[in-house]
Structure 1
Amino acid sequence: MKRRVTQQDIAKELGLDKSTVSLALRNNPGIAKATLERVQGMADKLGYRPDPALSNLARQRWAGHETGSGAALAYLIDSRMANADQHRRFLDPARARAEGRGYLLHEFDLAEYSSMKAASRVLNHRGIRGLLVPQFAHTNGPSLFEMPAANFTVVCLDLGWVSVPFHIVAPDMFENTRRVWREVVNRGYKRIGGAILSHTPQAVDDAARYGASAASQHEFIPKKDRIPLLTTDHADRAGFMKWFERHEPEVVIAFISRVYDWILETGRRVPEDVAVASLSVFPDQTPEVSGVLRQVDNIGITGVDALIAAMHEHEWGIPTLQRKLSLEPIWYEGTSLPSKQV
């Protein structure tokens, strides 16, 4: 059998230390670009392929140092932002998953630093390479894009107001929306009102909700029975009330459970007078509302797995090919959407 080409072979050909070759093959940002290109070019020329057994052993050693402390990851928040209360939503399940995989996940508040570059220096000093980033609000202040991304492996959790170039783990909002429309139709409802709502400024997934709702109306609802989709801002209570009183739907497909509260404020009973199905359900907050789960735990857990996988593949900075890992819809059966089928 042909002998496997080793990193030592590459180092000998180039007159470099084996440690330099090892770092270059992992795209370490501390290695000069010219050296990276020389090493990787020679690796291709010699037909170098990593040894899976050795790679796995190295990963285990890296993930659990002799000190037992484990490799450190950071979960970024920014307490200055308007949606800061949502930043920690995925932290607990992510931390538990990280610890189960031999890593420590630390909360890291960007508000404590004068700039993203200053925050980056602290992260580097602490030896933190992997970053989990929840959805940040649209802001004219410090931006994630100001961070020297080449020094880190980054995975973003959920979709927000800012389009990011890093790998993303999020619910499949298009399929979530389609699932709710199908469920409502299959349970026998005819006059279906879609309170799809939107954000100001537009959120990344607003278009997916609207597109899936428009497609579902076209596919499932006869033209004469279609109610115009409500796409005003998600906090526009007055706009919703006007739309609701005008069209009197027998069921409302709501973007968020806030709409459920608005309906109750009109004096209607749910589900006796009007049924409700939500595109984003949090059972711990509104256990009675039926719809698709927001999957907070799954986002955090899957985000950690995706981050560790990217780190194992030595992915630094902005990936050449962005991966978007979409979680399939999971239905939650509350009490607000009884079947009308006989």
Structure 2
Amino acid sequence: MSSTLPKSHVTLRDVASQLDVSHTTFSRALRDDPQISKAMREQVQKTAREMGHRPDPILSALAHYRRGKNKRSIGAELAWINHWPNPKKLRSYKEFNLYWEGAFDEAEHCGFRLEEFVLDKNLSPSRLGKILRARNIRGILLPPSGDVAPNLGDFVWDEFCIVRFGHSVSYPHAHLVSSDQLTDGLIAHENIWENGCRRIGLVTSAKAHTRFSAGFLFSQMKRDSGQQLPALILMQDKSDDDQRLLAAWLKKNKPGHPDRCHRTTRSAQ
């Protein structure tokens, strides 16, 4: 069985030497300083990627401390807080798993390590806060909450930098990363229409924390009244009730059938 030795750390001076530029110029180009020419910035960043250079978060924090007299100590970890009742279900959703993978890769690229903390009966919010402070983890990522709003109790948010994923986590008020759900809904309706479908319906859930419906219905408003179907909102509490509601909605509104959409598109071609 073969083993691979870890690569030695590629320093700023290593890459600067490869490009025959000063380490100061290299550092400024890597930070996308506009006073460095675009060609030089692109060359520096390309070479840094190829050589496997990664910023050192400890040194970056130290430099920030020297420049801004930041009195906080230095850390190199970030926390991903999984607050789902069934923790494994969170990343079973493709979009949410991509959030994790993207955050993990970007953290690694910037020299940090992203660690998941699962809130359960063994790890309360208050205990988690103590652990994060003890390990000097000051950055927190909050993934979407799903159907159940997270109960984060008396967690002291003011001591941390926080990023939320999606609109389902309404508190704490912090930076938000989300897909453009409103535009997604608008594009969905427009693309289905372009494929020849008419009387396009929307069936959604009362538990869905999304702006997709708003975009979809806004696009639908541009069509004549005969093409505007009321949305059906299901509660998802009792499947039998939802099935009856769906059957009644289909019978009353008669949305376009996908097969007819394809036939309309083919005949138009």
Interval containing the TM-score (normalised by the shorter chain): 0.5 to 0.7
1:85 aligned partner, one-letter code: K
Match of 1:172 in 2: 180
Aligned to 1:193: 201
Structure with higher helix content: 2
Secondary structure of 2:167's counterpart equals: coil
The TM-score with structure 2 as length reference comes to 0.61
Q: Quick one: which of 213, 217, 222 aligns to 1:214?
A: 217
Equivalent residue of 2:233, what SS? coil
Give 1:169 deviation, angstroms.
0.4
> Which runs of no fewer than 5 residues in structure 1 stay unpaired?
1-51, 65-69, 252-270, 276-336
Is the aligned partner of 1:155 residue 2:163? yes
RMSD: 3.5
Using the TM superposition, give the Cα deviation of residue 340 of structure 1 relative to its aligned residue in structure 2, in angstroms.
6.2
Report whether the alignment pairs 1:75 with 2:77. no
Contact 2:125 2:152 in 1 (8 A): yes
Structure 2 CA distance for aligned equivalents of residues 188 and 127 of structure 1: 57
Measure, in 1, the Cα distance between the counterparts of 2:157 and 2:175: 13
Hey, what's the Cα distance between the residues in 2 that align with 1:83 and 1:340?
49
1:1-342 equivalences under 5 Å are 61-62=59-60, 71-79=76-84, 81=85, 85-86=89-90, 89=97, 90-111=99-120, 113-137=122-146, 143-144=151-152, 146-160=154-168, 162-195=170-203, 197-200=204-207, 203-205=208-210, 208-219=211-222, 221-233=223-235, 236-251=242-257, 271-272=258-259, 341-342=268-269
Partner in structure 1 of residue 13 of structure 2:
none
Shift of residue 174, structure 1, vs aligned partner:
0.8
Structure 2 residue runs of 5 or longer lacking an equivalent are 1-26, 32-54, 63-74
CA contact (8 A) 2:79 2:141 kept: yes
Aligned length: 197
Matched residue SS, 1:192:
coil
Q: Structure 2: how far apart are the matches of 1:161 and 1:149?
A: 14
Alpha-carbon contact 2:58-2:76 (below 8 Å) kept:
no
Cα separation, partners in 2 of 1:340 and 1:146, compared to 1, 3 Å: farther
Report if aligned partners of 2:205, 2:235 keep a CA contact under 8 Å in 1. Answer: yes
Larger relative contact order, structure 1 or 2 (CA cutoff 8 Å, min sep 6):
1
Q: 1:138 to 1:233 in 2, by over 3 A?
A: closer
Residues 6-40 of structure 1: CA deviation (Å, up to 9, x unaligned): xxxxxxxxxxxxxxxxxxxxxxxxxxxxxxxxxxx
Q: Identity over the aligned pairs, expressed in percent? A: 21
3-state SS of paired residue (2:141): strand
d(CA) in 2 for partners of 1:168 and 1:340?
A: 45
2:79 and 2:139 in contact (8 A); partners too = yes
1:176 CA displacement:
0.6
**Deviation of 1:83 (Å):** 7.3
Deviation at residue 91 of structure 1 after TM alignment: 2.1
CA apart distance, 1:186: 2.0
Deviation at 1:84, TM superposition (A): 5.5
Which amino acid in 1 is paired with 2:120? A
TM-score, normalised to structure 1, is 0.49
Letter in 2 for 1:75: W
Mapped to 2, the partners of 1:126 and 1:338 lie a distance apart of 60
Alpha-carbon contact 2:186-2:217 (below 8 Å) kept? no
In 2, Cα distance between the equivalents of 1:125 and 1:138? 32
Superposed displacement of residue 63, structure 1: 6.3
**Pair 1:249–1:118, CA change in 2 (3 A):** same
> Within 2, Cα distance between the matches of 1:237 and 1:62?
57
Quick check: which one's strand share is greater?
1
